[in-house]
């Protein structure tokens, strides 16, 4: 640790699980990702999407150590309890679980996607990419509004919903 920093009492051994190593990396960087459930395999991702009947499945694809993911993870952690009745949130490391990188075009450091009853829900954010959110949203109310919109639209059978806010011009347009 640097001067003035507290030493962490626990460090997993080099032979520990990927989850323990991810927690260590997250703790080293002050990330909230270790507080949210991680899906460790393609099968686990499929099961999370398939088995959830009544709630939106939100998956953040990326890396726990990426600064954009850390900002988004903090927002996700803050809203997780508030949206628990209609959404569930998971994190997936795109290096440990590369199964979906080509299928969902996960080339950005951060991608947040929505699923409902085994269907990918598209969100028109005004950016031209309706498949995912690929920038960090720090405002928790903005994210809650998007999740509520996705839930309401998906319950009505819509595969594409309009975002309550237009993010087309630098993500600051009202």
For the chain, the average pLDDT equals 85
Average pLDDT over residues 18-39: 64
115 backbone dihedrals φ, ψ, rounded to 5°: -135, 145
When pLDDT is cut at 50, 70 and 90, the band that residue 8 belongs to is: very low
pLDDT tens digits along 136-168: 999 999 999 999 999 999 999 999 999 999 988
pLDDT at 18 over 80: no
pLDDT at 107 over 80: yes
pLDDT value for 133 = 95
When pLDDT is cut at 50, 70 and 90, the band that residue 15 belongs to is: low
Using CA atoms of 153, 156, 158, 164 in order, give the dihedral in degrees to the nearest 10: -20
Lowest mean pLDDT among 15-24, 98-107, 121-130, 147-156: 15-24
pLDDT tens digits along 52-99: 999 999 999 999 889 999 999 999 999 999 999 999 999 999 999 999
When pLDDT is cut at 50, 70 and 90, the band that residue 30 belongs to is: very low
Burial pattern 21-55, b for ≥16 Cβ within 10 A else e, equals: bbbbebeeeebbbbebebbbeeeebeebbeebeeb
* % of the chain exceeding 90 in pLDDT: 72
pLDDT value for 168 = 85
pLDDT value for 170 = 62
Q: Which of 25, 52, 24, 23 is nearest to 37 (CA)?
A: 23
When pLDDT is cut at 50, 70 and 90, the band that residue 17 belongs to is: low
């Amino acid at each position: 640790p640097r001067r003035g920093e507290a030493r962490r009492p626990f460090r997993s051994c080099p032979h520990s699980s990927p989850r323990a190593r991810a927690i260590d990396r997250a703790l080293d960087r002050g990330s909230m990702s270790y507080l949210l459930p991680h899906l460790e395999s393609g099968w686990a991702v499929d099961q999370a999407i398939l088995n959830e009947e009544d709630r939106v499945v939100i998956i953040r694809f990326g890396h726990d150590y990426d600064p954009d993911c850390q900002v988004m993870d903090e927002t996700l952690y803050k809203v997780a309890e508030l949206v628990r009745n209609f959404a569930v949130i998971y994190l997936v490391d795109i290096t440990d679980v590369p199964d979906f990188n080509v299928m969902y075009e996960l080339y950005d450091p951060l991608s947040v996607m929505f699923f409902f009853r085994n269907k990918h829900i598209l969100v028109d954010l005004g950016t031209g990419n309706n498949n995912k959110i690929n920038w960090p949203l720090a405002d928790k109310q903005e994210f809650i509004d998007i999740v509520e919109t996705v839930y309401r639209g998906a319950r009505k059978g819509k595969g594409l919903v309009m975002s309550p806010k237009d993010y087309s011009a630098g993500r600051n347009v009202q």
